[in-house]
Structure 1
Amino acid sequence: MDIVDVPGAKLYYDIRGSGPLLLLIPGASGDARPFTALAEHLTAHFTVVTYDRRGFSRSSLDGPQDYSRRLDTDADDARRLIEHTGHRTAIVFGTSSGALIALHLLTRHPEAVGHLVPYEPPALRLLHDGQHWIDFFHQIYDLYRSSGIAPAMTLFRERTFVASDGYAMARAMDLSNPRVRANATYWFEHELRQYPAIAFDLDTLKRHAGQVIPAAGHQSQGRPCYRATAELGALLDRKLIELPGGHVGFATHPTEFADRLREFLEHHAP
């Protein structure tokens, strides 16, 4: 178990493999565990770092948090973790909320990013119907507050993702597990409404567009996160790449996902 102290938190992380540094930033659960199989398939080619984001699972908070700038803090955590490993830059893969963090890392600390793969970021303000989805996520939060985690998560999965993703997410969410409940609560309170509504610094992203490899799951076509990724690619003049599976393809199809991701990274990254 490896821990790095950062301002306001202690981050749990794992490092394995050899080769160029590849940082994997988790999504809504904030937990590194869904990356386990993917990371194992990548360690022959990369030094893979996975971690629990602050406030989730094994990464504890240390003192008061400034939730008004939480995305800044998440991006700073990623940069500090890269530096802690003894590297100046990393290839960065972020999924869902983690992809939003990865994009913000590029705008805030571009020197820390070699290449960036934002996988299905819920950058909803890029969509013509983005406000509809932002309003829907607020409705999900209200349902969570009135009826609890389970019904809110069910509606969220059914409306936002393809059925295969929803099934995989439901299987992974054992609400009898205190860790899972705590992670879900933290996400509902501090991320569900806040992160998808973020307006990115597109001018800065465009200056670093050559570092960005937008990616989405083949099965996610037509869903909001796929569409937002496609819009991001169009704005940056970067071709969208498709990877196996859907929104959680890295967990449901880890071998095929790792092989395709590696092929794209070896083509694009040094």
Structure 2
Amino acid sequence: MKTDALTFVTGDENTLKEILRYGRQAGRPQGPMEIFAEATMEFLESWSGKIRSLPRSETDSTAAAFALWSRRASLVSMKKDYEIQNGRSGRGICLQFVPSNMPGLFAYSLAAGLLSGNSVVMRLPSREDAVNSALISTLKAALEGSQLFSSRIVLIRYDHDREITDQLSEKCGARVIWGGDRSVEEIQRSPLKPGAAEIAFPNRHSMAVLDAKTILAGTGWLIRDFYNDTYLNDQNACSSPSIIFWKGSEENVKAAREKFWQKMEEFLTGRYPARANLAVKKWEQAEYMAACAVASEIERGSLEEGNSIVRVKAESIIPELWDHVIPGGFFIECSGEDVSCIKPLLVPVCQTISVAGPDELEDEVRQIAGQFQVVRTGHTLDFSLRWDRHDLIMEMSHVAPEEFTVEADGCSIHAIKQGSGPVLMLIHGVACDSSFFAEAAELLARDYTVITFDRRGYSKSRVTKEIDGDIVALQAADAVCVLDALAGKDAKAIVAGCSAGGLVALEMARAYPERVSKLYLYEAAYSPEPEDMDKMDELRDKLHAAAQKNRVARAMLYFIEAIGEADPLAKEVSTEQLQQNIDNLQWFLHHEVDGILGYSRRRPDIKLKMPCECGAGTLDPSAAFGHMMVSAAKHWNVTCSMNEGCHNLALDRPETFAGWIKYK
């Protein structure tokens, strides 16, 4: 990544690299945490305290509102809405993009990403205003006291650079885009990895329902609240009302409008300067609407500062009114005696409906509005974790895979279970572990109860006594133990194995056919053809020779030669994972070579008692294991699907592997 093109506001180049490398790994400081974790709420309380300790002159209403929102008591109250969501944790890395026209939004978005259990990488706008400056300075102060969250938060700035956005997007588990249609479209050109969640907030607009009788009875409280909803941010917030629906008789509406806007003008005097550029845009828009016969009347304020308010009266209430809204004090007005008149405006571009009137009116609006957000006037900018029909916590988190330790004969097996539906067991091959299926399993967990495990002797599965007998048969028995523990003694599973894991799956199907409902084999090292057996014998001898001289690198090269060329989309492997793979390869060399590579010769006449699908990669058709799989499929008279990819399909192209399982 071109880190020299990044300006780090918090964190540094190393912090970013660590998040991108370890953000998906549970147990790492950068890894997923449970939603509303105690540590997260404590950190946000610390940030809130830093803001509240600022002199009043340095804290505006936006920063003060965030400080109240992020207090521990407030967060505990929010947490209650998610108490039934046991087991949810972050998706790993949440990549966020925030706009420049909404001061303070970054703080709420960052907090939501943290509360949903993620590390957060956020691109800030290039322009910094006083509100964001105060919030950032207090955030830095809070980070100085938290080693944990200093490793979980990186705020950066960079010019529009597709390459950087591509690289960040490829690593994230969730992406949040706040901005207009153009920003959303531009950022979405950068693809996400399979299974990643995306929350996009394109152009949205809002409306207010004002009850004429309420206005005529008194406006004191309403004028300030309406100002806060609109002029405080130049109507730039998607929740700021641009269309005003007046409810009441024609006579009452006329009187209420005159009173309300006169009071509004008086309140604006000295508080909101009428800027020339905005005034020109508003008048141009008003004249355009009149020319298009969308507006029947154009009105401006009566005072000297009258350019602060420009109003047009809609000819009719139609969805196309939303096409004409602009910020800066421009209002489209319509009216009716029945609030159901607003129904044509309830289209996807509508976000929030604010209500000024009796409780009965608010209830009526809620019934009509359905999925749309309804709030009291004065509260359109109150941030909520459920925003614009998105539940930020739910969408930025997921049900975390459950980890188990299963005791088998002479081994403690590390197993993982996630999702719901028919049971699907995935068995990995040589020199890797259950993380080989991490992304594919997350995709498949939408439709299956997915079980993965580290095979005996690999990574977290520890052997407790010397191995005696056929290693493949022993590992098939291990797989049955895992199935018993995680799905039940009588449970049947769809079993899919890759490479050497395919042999374990095949042996499981042969020895325990009552436990396997369907079999998937991807480039398993099995073939009844004598020439294929001879190739495996030759590879076995090479590996033995390398192992005797402790030449692990040489052995790895021999094995790579057998499995074929690397996929151009091959995933980058961390130094830590590479070392784990080397340790796993050494286990294979000392305990599995004969059992794995001699399996075809020992069992050349396997007959299957359940449906079977075979698969191989197309990018290196001459690779030994792929060729063997094609031969085995012909022998069994079953399909061998040719998938674009190589031997490590489930790792390098998880969406292709998951699609093969789901649709074959």
| Paired residues for 1:249-260 under 5 Å | 249-260=649-660
Which letter does structure 2 place at the counterpart of 1:257? F
- Which of 232, 243, 250 aligns to 2:643? It is 243
Question: Residues of 1 paired with 2:576 and 2:588: CA distance?
Answer: 14
Between 1:124-133 and 1:172-181, the stretch displaced more is: 172-181
CA-CA distance at 1:151 after TM superposition: 2.3
On the 8 A contact 2:471/2:595 being kept in 1, the answer is: no
Give the corresponding residue for 1:105. Answer: 508
Q: How many residues align?
A: 259
Normalised TM-score (structure 1): 0.87
Give the corresponding residue for 1:268. Answer: none
Question: Residues of 1 paired with 2:520 and 2:626: CA distance?
Answer: 14
On the 8 A contact 1:124/1:134 being kept in 2, the answer is: no
Q: Secondary structure at the match of 1:194?
A: helix
Question: Residues of 2 paired with 1:187 and 1:173: CA distance?
Answer: 21
CA-CA distance at 1:89 after TM superposition: 0.5
Give the corresponding residue for 1:28. Answer: 430
Give the corresponding residue for 1:132. Answer: 535
On the 8 A contact 1:125/1:131 being kept in 2, the answer is: no
1:190 is the counterpart of 2:591: yes
Q: Secondary structure at the match of 2:556?
A: helix
Question: Residues of 2 paired with 1:162 and 1:207: CA distance?
Answer: 27
Give the corresponding residue for 2:156. Answer: none
Which letter does structure 2 place at the counterpart of 1:156? F
Give the corresponding residue for 1:16. Answer: 418
Give the corresponding residue for 2:478. Answer: 77
Between 1:239-248 and 1:17-26, the stretch displaced more is: 239-248
Structure having greater relative contact order (Cα 8 Å, sep ≥ 6): 1
Which letter does structure 2 place at the counterpart of 1:153? M
On the 8 A contact 1:11/1:51 being kept in 2, the answer is: yes
CA-CA distance at 1:193 after TM superposition: 3.6
Give the corresponding residue for 1:180. Answer: 581
| Paired residues for 1:97-246 under 5 Å | 97-123=500-526, 126-146=529-549, 148-157=551-560, 159-165=561-567, 168=570, 172=573, 174=575, 178-198=579-599, 199=601, 201=603, 203=605, 205-208=606-609, 210-246=610-646
1:137-158 CA distances to partner (integer Å, 9 max, x unpaired)? 311331233252112212331x
Question: Residues of 2 paired with 1:111 and 1:105: CA distance?
Answer: 10
- Percent identity, please: 24
Q: Secondary structure at the match of 1:206?
A: coil
CA-CA distance at 1:191 after TM superposition: 1.8
Q: Indicate the RMSD between aligned Cα atoms, in angstroms.
A: 2.4
Which letter does structure 1 place at the counterpart of 2:663? E
Give the corresponding residue for 1:46. Answer: 448
Q: 1:142 to 1:24 in 2, by over 3 A?
A: same
Q: Secondary structure at the match of 2:628?
A: helix
On the 8 A contact 1:19/1:47 being kept in 2, the answer is: yes
On the 8 A contact 2:520/2:661 being kept in 1, the answer is: no
Between 1:231-240 and 1:219-228, the stretch displaced more is: 219-228
On the 8 A contact 1:31/1:56 being kept in 2, the answer is: yes
Between 1:134-143 and 1:23-32, the stretch displaced more is: 134-143
Question: Residues of 2 paired with 1:178 and 1:223: CA distance?
Answer: 25
1:95 is the counterpart of 2:495: no
Which letter does structure 1 place at the counterpart of 2:450? V
CA-CA distance at 1:31 after TM superposition: 0.9
Between 1:116-125 and 1:172-181, the stretch displaced more is: 172-181
1:209-268 CA distances to partner (integer Å, 9 max, x unpaired)? x4211111222422211111111111111121123311101111112221232111xxxx
Q: 1:173 to 1:231 in 2, by over 3 A?
A: farther
On the 8 A contact 2:552/2:586 being kept in 1, the answer is: yes
Indicate the structure with greater helix content.
Answer: 1
Question: Residues of 1 paired with 2:464 and 2:550: CA distance?
Answer: 30
Between 1:122-131 and 1:40-49, the stretch displaced more is: 122-131
Which letter does structure 1 place at the counterpart of 2:509? L
On the 8 A contact 1:120/1:216 being kept in 2, the answer is: yes
Q: Secondary structure at the match of 1:103?
A: helix
Q: Secondary structure at the match of 2:487?
A: coil
Which letter does structure 1 place at the counterpart of 2:430? A
Runs of at least 5 residues in structure 1 that lack an aligned partner in the other structure: 265-270
1:101-126 CA distances to partner (integer Å, 9 max, x unpaired)? 11111110000100000111112553
On the 8 A contact 2:431/2:583 being kept in 1, the answer is: no
Question: Residues of 1 paired with 2:506 and 2:617: CA distance?
Answer: 18
On the 8 A contact 1:18/1:45 being kept in 2, the answer is: yes
Q: 1:167 to 1:135 in 2, by over 3 A?
A: farther
Which letter does structure 1 place at the counterpart of 2:436? P
Question: Residues of 2 paired with 1:145 and 1:221: CA distance?
Answer: 31
On the 8 A contact 2:564/2:624 being kept in 1, the answer is: no
Normalised TM-score (structure 2): 0.37
Q: Secondary structure at the match of 1:128?
A: helix
Q: Secondary structure at the match of 1:54?
A: coil
Q: Secondary structure at the match of 2:539?
A: helix
Q: 1:24 to 1:176 in 2, by over 3 A?
A: closer
Runs of at least 5 residues in structure 2 that lack an aligned partner in the other structure: 1-402
Q: Which has the larger radius of gyration?
A: 2
Question: Residues of 1 paired with 2:569 and 2:541: CA distance?
Answer: 23
Q: Secondary structure at the match of 1:238?
A: coil
Which letter does structure 2 place at the counterpart of 1:111? E
1:166-223 CA distances to partner (integer Å, 9 max, x unpaired)? 9949x548489653332111011122343121135455x4251x42111112224222
CA-CA distance at 1:72 after TM superposition: 1.3
On the 8 A contact 1:125/1:197 being kept in 2, the answer is: no
Give the corresponding residue for 1:4. Answer: 406
Which letter does structure 2 place at the counterpart of 1:47? T
Question: Residues of 1 paired with 2:501 and 2:636: CA distance?
Answer: 19
